[in-house]
Structure 1
Amino acid sequence: MALTEFFPPVGCRDGVPSLVYVTGDTIKVNHSKTSLVTGSSNRFKECRYRSIAKKPGTDFDTVVLYNSTWFNDSINLRDNDDNLVVECYGSDNSILSRSYHSLIRVKKDLEMKLKKRLQKHIAKNSPAEIFNVLMIGIEGNSKQNLQRHMPKTRNYLLKVLNAIELKKYNKIGDHTYPNVIPILTGKTEEEFLHQNWNWSGLFDDINHQFVWSDLSNAGYRTGLFLDTTNKTAFHFFKRAWDKPPVDYYYRATLLDLERDPLVRYKVPNCVGDTPEVTYNFNFWTQMASTFTNPKTHPYFGYSFYNHLTHSNSNGASAGDDLYLRIFLELKQRNIINNTIVIFFSDHGARVGKIRHTYNGVIESMMPHVFLILPPWFRRKYPDVYRVLELNQERLTTNKDLYMTLQVVLNFQGKPGIGNIKQKGISLFNEIPRERTCDDAGIPFEFCVCNKLVKANVSADLTVSLATEVTNRLWYYYDRHVNICNRLTLKYVHSVWEIHLDHEENTRGKSMYQIIISTTPNDALYEAKLVFDNSTKIITVVGDVIRLNMYRGQDNCMNNPKLKPFCHCRG
């Protein structure tokens, strides 16, 4: 609790208001708001919009497709205008307001193609039900942090929406990318390396392996919404996509919005006078109101929100009311009646003082995951629901979510028994109680089933463990010594002994977790090590993880894997 801070709800009253709104195919001026940004010497005059798109061949720039005529009350949109920037001017020709709109509009050619795919899917697989699927992700939010900071949202999920909470869900990687890739593809980063693909390539080359491509082939409309341009699993020092990966890709307006100080940065976590979380969720309410019947027009949406919690997990408290409102709206609009919603995170807090505590180590490995099912699901499929309830208490992983999405795609309404030899098991199949981290493909350095105890080791062994970690740091950046300072050991903060949840391959070996600090970058690093008691050989297992922020120290380094270890010269 000493490390816990609660923030007031996000407030955007001081943000620049949007003076227009979109209804149907028309932009209308909200004349009730014009007085908020005008005065006696500067009256509202007129607006115009420009239609923009993601620039072909890059995921990091936009092009203008069309500039509209001026209007002072309303204007009709052209058929293909779906990413809009609207500017409104005063009588002195100053900009009063600028607003951004990403619209879900029916694409006739796409609809014809998806109709044929859906018919083929139904004829071939005869699914018992067709559900919409909506995934709502939050960066760096453990299930414990959700309890502390978003109690209203959590209580509503459990008590009103009867959500299934995966209480023993375990991450399989350190940061966002290695945790969301298995959810969306069923593969780990290492498995893609075996396919001769890594994050320096284009995701276009493997987009067919993403679950949204499977759903698109079955006739689903697909959407992707991320709230930041660069700090995403797909864009952080990566090339991302040349072509849009889904049918409705919120990217063009985001790129321009992120560069707009008038709208984006005047009030934190706001887009103009609207909370960013609310602004973002409008994309999905549009999707739901445009495609209302999953039997004929199913959709899949994936969204991931970064800003509230990326740098400080305490920031989740500022979003509790906003996320509660999202789930209230899902129920009030009856969206939940035909949609499976997965509310999830990628990992717990990775940096900050909480990571120096035992609880912080555990929380970092346990992101929150909730499944919200239509209210009639339990009555119609009681055996499947019983399995879901059992699996709340079983060890689950990212790959299980992927397999669940695959079963949703071809839902037959019958539960099964999961095969313990498979790394990914659908949550609609009973996960064996005896499943271990090794069974589930969870690296031992991230296995929450392991037991940590204070190590009783000699000073010599402590120094040897710390030296081995420091040597690994050299391994990370030895080709970049011309731009990075050499890191040397400053202090050993803690040494824990790790007792694995399975002991088959650990005889004669001891496992340790150590936290050290280095100079000159005042960094904190955590590492897992294996000590062979007979040969006395020490080996670092997995990645060395940085526990404190390094913003400003790493500007000379473009490799995202090496940025935590590079303290730039000069």
Structure 2
Amino acid sequence: MSDKRPLLDTSDIESEKDGIMGAKESSLLMTGITYKSTTVAPTVVWYGRQLLVRRKLFVGLLVVFIFSYFLIGPADVLDLDNVDSIVQVHHQSNVLDREVNQKLLLPKGYLVYSNQCRIVDLDPYKREVMRHFKRVSYKPCKQRLPLTQMRYDDHTRRYVLSINSTAFQSYHVKNVLSCCYMGVERVSESNVSYTHCEHFKSKAQISNTTDSVIVKCSTEKGQIYINGHATIPERLQIRQRLKQWKRRDQGRRVPSVLMIGIDSISRVNLIRAMPKTAQYLYDNDWFELAGYNKIDDNTFPNIMALMVGYNLSNAMKYCNPYVSGGLDKCDFVWKLYKKHGYVTSYGEDAVKINTFNYLKKGFKQPPVDYYLRPYLSAAEKLLDGNVVLGLPHCLGFETESEHVYNYALEFARRYRNDSFFGFFWTNTHSHGDISQTSSMDDYLKDYLQRLLAQGTLEHSIVVFFSDHGLRFGPTRSTWSGHLEERLPFLFIWLPPFLRAERPEFVKALRENRNRLTTPYDLHMTLKHILTLSGRTGKLETLDGAKDCPQCQSLLLPVPLNRSCEDVAIEDHWCTCWSYKAINKNSKTMRHLGERVVHYLNDYVTSFRNGSLAHLCQPLTLQGISAAYKARLSDDDPSQTQIYWLTFSTAPNQALYEATVRYNKSSTSEDNVQVTGSVSRLNSYSGEADCMNDFAIKKYCYCHHKSG
């Protein structure tokens, strides 16, 4: 395998040249002043002074250019119009000990470097991406504080809803204030009901049978306030379970698990868009897994690999999300934790696109002890709010993502002295845009500090992670976008007591920072953590990652010479190879493009036994946008070559990306193999409204669109 850095698209190289040429031309314009007379007249003195000023300006710009050249790298010229969006992050913990630091030294420019896998360390500030990035400021949803507040009373073991006296004055209530609250009750995944609205004056105790409430306040002039509060009420059955298992522990410390996930954030965009959060993680000894590679296209299959250990095919086979109760059959990790005495919780924002609900049936029964979906379903319908980039943003006084984060914080606080497993996921500030998530940088840094302040980090393993990078938009068709989409971020926190008891875990996580890792490995890690409780047998007694037999816990050293094939990553998602640009107009590339489009049409035609084929128009190849060839290992005996193509189709004007294996020496029909799935790079909103299956939607162009 070559050790050269993957080549950029030629258009990227040309833009670099144009940027440098522009700097030279402007410098000539700055200094191009001539004199016709040698007499030192006032006018000449004035011009001389102007010349001196312009020379100083030129020198200043030259210094900026040289600094940016070495800061950003020679592949791109710093975008001076967007320099305020760059906040440098030191991409390594300041507390790594010298021995481990020496062991992790890599050739410059790589995250993973072995004979089997070489993952490039992308520059977060490349111009091809930064030209589309603009830092977004955080804006509070309301200018005043909420009129009501909710707190848990440790003495009565119930939540108390009360009027916030500090905020009361800002509402300028001159008449009698009438407030009431109604409980939110789950009917199904898509429906909720409400209890009778109970009136209260200054405060009210909430029944432990109520999970969340909607509060309304009115004066004689009408309603002046509405808000919602999600709670973690005390439950006798849960408390008995915790006590029963705690007696078995016999004083043994049992680590809890808190998972905080953000949709569509690459490792690089975490650094770019949330530099304060990233720097906090690096500086406070969180363990980064920098070679974390996704295993499939979108959220659902990557989360299924993490939470169940299945690839998409087996997830659809054994726990069909299109059938009511199908997902309930899955052996989710949270079920395993609950079985062994943990209290469990799951929350996710943007209810319409929830991981287990978008074009799916969801859960027939609540999947965990504390389930946030019913509350957010009610909040999205009833609370004042707005939409940003097509997704709910503000819900009442907080963004919807803050509702999830605060729910997770309260869950961890309520059960800080017990064993818990919490899984919390947000979509709304990250799903559709490379810049929007920057608005949450200060919040998330503070949030991690709040977890520390309330003691969660003293006894809990915290997993801070994503599923993949941005899948759509103008940056996605760039070289950076291609890699970013496949390399989400992953950080793991170990509590101090576990670091002291098991120093080999610390050593393994530091070694694994620069190894190829996957969601299957994280699945095995969660199972490994459960064995640390002493409530199960050894690690070997738990089923492994069902669809990745060679995957393992990240608390154990991961082999350096892992390949994508070893860990069930198909070619299309693999970031281990470098590619070189080749002639996109060659007969071979045209042939491969035609074969891929033929593959897409066959896929649509045969999907669900052909029952949906009549809804979609056949696609034809419009053109090849770019073509690349993988640089495989020099000792690879195979005659097969791997190509990566981006191409467009008609009539849907779609831009796709495919990775194919091509055996040129073979004459059989299967000498071209499409690996993974074919990625859609541009939006298909409105094109496939006739289709309700997420697996086929991006390849379908409904017949009625041509009408």
TM-score (norm 2): 0.73
Q: Residue deviations 1:251-289, cap 9 Å, x none?
A: 111111122362354997322232333332221222222
Aligned residue in 2 for 1:70: 199
Aligned residue in 2 for 1:115: 243
1:446 to partner: Cα distance: 0.8
1:563 to 672, 697, 700: 697
Q: Residue deviations 1:539-565, cap 9 Å, x none?
A: 322211101111122211111112112
- Flag the 1:99–1:458 CA change in 2: closer, same or farther, 3 A: closer
Aligned residue in 2 for 1:473: 600
Is the CA contact 2:128–2:475 (under 8 Å) kept in the aligned structure 1?
no
Aligned residue in 2 for 1:527: 658
1:181 to 304, 319, 331: 304
Q: Structure 2 CA distance, aligned partners of 1:477 and 1:204?
A: 23
Corresponding position: 1:165 with 2:299: no
Aligned residue in 1 for 2:110: none
Q: Structure 1 CA distance, aligned partners of 2:701 and 2:330?
A: 38
Q: Structure 1 CA distance, aligned partners of 2:206 and 2:675?
A: 57
1:308 to 429, 454, 474: 429
The code of the aligned residue for 1:381 comes to R
The code of the aligned residue for 1:62 comes to V
SS of equivalent residue, structure 1 residue 32 = helix
SS of equivalent residue, structure 1 residue 466 = helix
Q: Residue deviations 1:301-333, cap 9 Å, x none?
A: 001100111111322211111111110101122
Q: Structure 2 CA distance, aligned partners of 1:412 and 1:115?
A: 15
- Mapping for residues 338-357 of structure 1, pairs under 5 Å: 338-357=459-478
In terms of mean alpha carbon deviation, does 73-82 or 1-10 score higher? 1-10
Q: Residue deviations 1:61-99, cap 9 Å, x none?
A: 1122x224322321221231222111111222x222221
In terms of mean alpha carbon deviation, does 279-288 or 446-455 score higher? 279-288
1:103 to partner: Cα distance: 0.5
Is the CA contact 2:178–2:201 (under 8 Å) kept in the aligned structure 1?
yes
Aligned residue in 1 for 2:231: 103
1:412 to partner: Cα distance: 7.7
- Mapping for residues 303-342 of structure 1, pairs under 5 Å: 303-342=424-463
- Flag the 1:11–1:202 CA change in 2: closer, same or farther, 3 A: same
Aligned residue in 2 for 1:286: 410
- Flag the 1:551–1:118 CA change in 2: closer, same or farther, 3 A: farther
Aligned-pair identity in percent equals: 28
In terms of mean alpha carbon deviation, does 275-284 or 365-374 score higher? 275-284
1:431 to 535, 555, 558: 558
- Flag the 1:129–1:233 CA change in 2: closer, same or farther, 3 A: same
SS of equivalent residue, structure 2 residue 428 = coil
Corresponding position: 1:247 with 2:377: no
Corresponding position: 1:493 with 2:625: yes
The code of the aligned residue for 1:187 comes to Y
- Flag the 1:3–1:44 CA change in 2: closer, same or farther, 3 A: farther
Is the CA contact 1:225–1:249 (under 8 Å) kept in the aligned structure 2?
yes
- Flag the 1:152–1:203 CA change in 2: closer, same or farther, 3 A: farther
- Mapping for residues 101-250 of structure 1, pairs under 5 Å: 101-120=229-248, 122=249, 129-160=253-284, 162-193=285-316, 195=318, 197-202=319-324, 206-207=328-329, 209-250=331-372
Corresponding position: 1:91 with 2:220: yes
1:458 to partner: Cα distance: 6.0
SS of equivalent residue, structure 2 residue 687 = coil
- Flag the 1:324–1:358 CA change in 2: closer, same or farther, 3 A: same
Aligned residue in 2 for 1:82: 211
1:115 to partner: Cα distance: 2.7
The code of the aligned residue for 1:468 comes to R
TM-score (norm 1): 0.90
Is the CA contact 1:416–1:429 (under 8 Å) kept in the aligned structure 2?
no
- Flag the 1:351–1:231 CA change in 2: closer, same or farther, 3 A: same
Structure with a larger share of its residues in helix: 2
In terms of mean alpha carbon deviation, does 533-542 or 425-434 score higher? 533-542
The code of the aligned residue for 1:59 comes to E
Is the CA contact 2:345–2:423 (under 8 Å) kept in the aligned structure 1?
yes
1:188 to partner: Cα distance: 1.8
1:401 to 505, 522, 529: 522
Q: Residue deviations 1:326-357, cap 9 Å, x none?
A: 10101122211111110000011111122211
Is the CA contact 1:416–1:428 (under 8 Å) kept in the aligned structure 2?
no
Is the CA contact 1:278–1:322 (under 8 Å) kept in the aligned structure 2?
no
Q: Structure 1 CA distance, aligned partners of 2:554 and 2:673?
A: 36
The code of the aligned residue for 1:515 comes to T
- Mapping for residues 371-382 of structure 1, pairs under 5 Å: 371-382=492-503
SS of equivalent residue, structure 1 residue 63 = strand
The code of the aligned residue for 2:616 comes to C
In terms of mean alpha carbon deviation, does 4-13 or 234-243 score higher? 4-13
The code of the aligned residue for 2:380 comes to E
Is the CA contact 1:455–1:495 (under 8 Å) kept in the aligned structure 2?
yes
Q: Which runs of 5+ in 2 are unaligned?
A: 1-126, 153-158
Q: Structure 1 CA distance, aligned partners of 2:624 and 2:686?
A: 24
SS of equivalent residue, structure 1 residue 230 = helix
Q: Structure 1 CA distance, aligned partners of 2:151 and 2:340?
A: 30
- Number of aligned residue pairs: 552
- Flag the 1:181–1:422 CA change in 2: closer, same or farther, 3 A: same
2:674 to 540, 556, 561: 540
The code of the aligned residue for 2:166 comes to S
- Flag the 1:268–1:241 CA change in 2: closer, same or farther, 3 A: closer
Aligned residue in 1 for 2:148: 20
Is the CA contact 2:135–2:273 (under 8 Å) kept in the aligned structure 1?
no
Q: Structure 2 CA distance, aligned partners of 1:38 and 1:473?
A: 62
Q: Which runs of 5+ in 1 are unaligned?
A: none
Q: Structure 2 CA distance, aligned partners of 1:102 and 1:501?
A: 54
Aligned residue in 2 for 1:518: 649
1:476 to partner: Cα distance: 3.3
SS of equivalent residue, structure 1 residue 270 = strand
SS of equivalent residue, structure 1 residue 512 = strand
Is the CA contact 1:345–1:367 (under 8 Å) kept in the aligned structure 2?
yes
Is the CA contact 1:208–1:214 (under 8 Å) kept in the aligned structure 2?
no
Corresponding position: 1:61 with 2:191: yes
1:16 to partner: Cα distance: 7.9
Corresponding position: 1:6 with 2:134: yes
Is the CA contact 2:276–2:441 (under 8 Å) kept in the aligned structure 1?
yes
SS of equivalent residue, structure 1 residue 110 = helix
- Flag the 1:416–1:20 CA change in 2: closer, same or farther, 3 A: closer
1:455 to partner: Cα distance: 2.3
SS of equivalent residue, structure 1 residue 361 = helix
1:39 to partner: Cα distance: 7.1
Max Rg structure: 2
SS of equivalent residue, structure 2 residue 234 = coil
SS of equivalent residue, structure 2 residue 532 = coil
Q: Structure 2 CA distance, aligned partners of 1:69 and 1:206?
A: 35
In terms of mean alpha carbon deviation, does 377-386 or 208-217 score higher? 377-386
Is the CA contact 1:183–1:399 (under 8 Å) kept in the aligned structure 2?
yes
The code of the aligned residue for 2:257 comes to V
SS of equivalent residue, structure 2 residue 692 = coil
RMSD: 2.7
Corresponding position: 1:508 with 2:639: yes
